[in-house]
Amino acid sequence: MNILYYYPNYDTYMFQWQKYHIFNELQEHNIQFEIINPLLYSSIEEANNEIIKKIKTGKYQLFMSSYSIDKLYIDTLQLMKHHNVASLCFCPDNLTVPYNQKDIAKYYDLVWITSKETEYLFKKWGAKTIFLPYAANPSLLKPIVPTEEIMRLAFIGTPHGSRVERLNMFLDNKIPLSVYSKISDTSNKRFRGTSRSYYSAISNYLKFPIGRRLLLGIVLDKLGRHELDLNSASLEMKEPVPLEEIGMVNSSYAIVLAFTEANSTGVLKKPVPIVNLRNFEIPMSGGLEFTTYIDELAMYFEPDKEIILCHSKEEMIDKARFYLREDNKGLRLKMKEAARKRAEHDHTWHRRFSSIFNELNIG
């Protein structure tokens, strides 16, 4: 199986995670990705011509992209049907930015969404959709059994907005916390972008109910000032974790914190729930995931047997203290092992893509 992926391949985590997760895992199943990076071409027309040239070779069974008509021509997509190449629009951010693919979604053979909440928009635009959540690569995220667990709560990521409030909550209650992030990333950032992109983002947010909640969260978040308590005796700041070391870090700690609030909506009374990549990385690593309860995540991992889910801030403090007790080591290791088994059985990228191939009748 050969997949042609029209993909920008920026040298940042937001793009490189696909290389470590998806490309690496599927290669083990004889599924090869070839990237066409529009950044390497002098124009979008030249990039589209390269796509057409590749498609005409007959080498590829699937074309995959997340782009809309600003980077991918409709004529390019339509040509694929004449060469028996299926087309897939991969939309891992469809909950927060569904309008990115509005004008092109119906021209793909299939649109892969990772959140059901905005599926109705894609159907309204004439697209055929499939819902499949994120997954994780079992080869990348191999768990280790440390001789001694690190008896702390760990968080890997950027502590911004309402995340900072949550982290400070643990520090205020003297929960030992290790944060893997640059210190410069521990406070709010202003919107970065042109006035045009700012206006476009606001305009699209206003078009759908979840978008309006996302926008309200952004406004309220910016009105407040969130600073991580760097002087807390319970805080340990660590350097960001390279992608290839995430599994080792996740499995080394007693419990690992994740977030289930989309964007800045943690500041709202009712945050917008979201399941993201980290929610699968931690269990696949053999780590014990610790986060707020949402129905969808409880469908993927069994609460109190494979994952720790909390319904309130008070419960988070109580459960953090409980699971950090030395005498609960046996319980933690049992849950970590169960989480890895569940992830390896149900939540691999090969399993997700097998569903895609079946839906498109290829492979």
User: In this structure, is residue 142 part of a structural domain?
Assistant: no
Instruction: Say yes or no to pLDDT of 222 above 90.
Output: no
CA distance 238 to 259: 19
User: Residue 199: its pLDDT value, please?
Assistant: 78
Summary mean pLDDT of the chain: 92
The model's pTM:
0.92
Q: Is residue 267 part of a domain?
A: yes
- Is the pLDDT confidence value at 202 over 70? yes
Buried b / exposed e across 244-283, counting CB within 10 Å, b at 16+?
A: eebbbbbbbbbbbbbbbbbbbbbbbeebbbbbbbbbbbbb
> Do 126 and 166 share a structural domain?
no
Q: With cut-offs at 50, 70 and 90, classify the pLDDT of residue 189.
A: very low
Do both 181 and 271 map to the same domain?
Answer: yes
Mean pLDDT of 182-186: 67
CATH number, domain containing residue 193: 3.40.50.2000
> 203 pLDDT exceeds 60?
yes
pLDDT surpasses 70 at 178: yes
Indicate if the pLDDT at residue 192 is higher than 50: no
pLDDT bucket at 172, cuts 50 / 70 / 90: very high
| Claim to verify: residue 209 and residue 341 sit in the same structural domain | yes
| Pair (274, 167) in one structural domain | yes
Burial bucket for residue 22 (CB in 10 Å: 0-12, 13-18, 19+): buried
- Greater model confidence, 138 or 264: 138
Q: Would 145 be classed as within a structural domain?
A: no
Task: Tally the domains of the chain.
Answer: 2
Residue 196: pLDDT band by 50, 70, 90 thresholds? low
Whether residue 273 contacts residue 305, with contact meaning beta carbons closer than 8 Å, is answered with no
* 282 neighbors 250 (Cβ within 8 angstroms): yes
Helix (H) or strand (E) holding 171, with range, is helix 161-172
Question: Are 177 and 127 members of one domain?
Answer: no
pLDDT in tens, 19-31: 989 999 999 999 9
Q: Does residue 58 lie in a domain region?
A: yes
pLDDT of residue 190: 42
What range defines the domain where residue 38 resides?
2-135+348-360
Co-location of 7 and 49 in the same domain: yes
> What per-residue confidence (pLDDT) applies to 239?
95
Same structural domain for residues 104 and 179? no
Of all helices (H) and strands (E), which one includes residue 318?
Answer: helix 313-323
Q: Is residue 320 part of a domain?
A: yes
* Helix (H) or strand (E) segment spanning residue 110: strand 110-113
Q: Is 174 left (phi over 0), alpha (psi -120 to 50) or beta?
A: left
Share of the chain above pLDDT 70, in %: 95
The more confident residue out of 153 and 15 is 153
Reported as a pLDDT band with limits 50, 70 and 90, residue 195 is: low
Are residues 191 and 329 part of one domain?
yes
Q: What is the CA radius of gyration of the chain?
A: 21
Tell me if 318 is assigned to some domain: yes
Judge if 74 and 173 occupy the same domain.
Answer: no
Each residue of 273-313: pLDDT tens digit?
Answer: 999 999 999 999 999 999 999 999 999 999 999 999 999 99
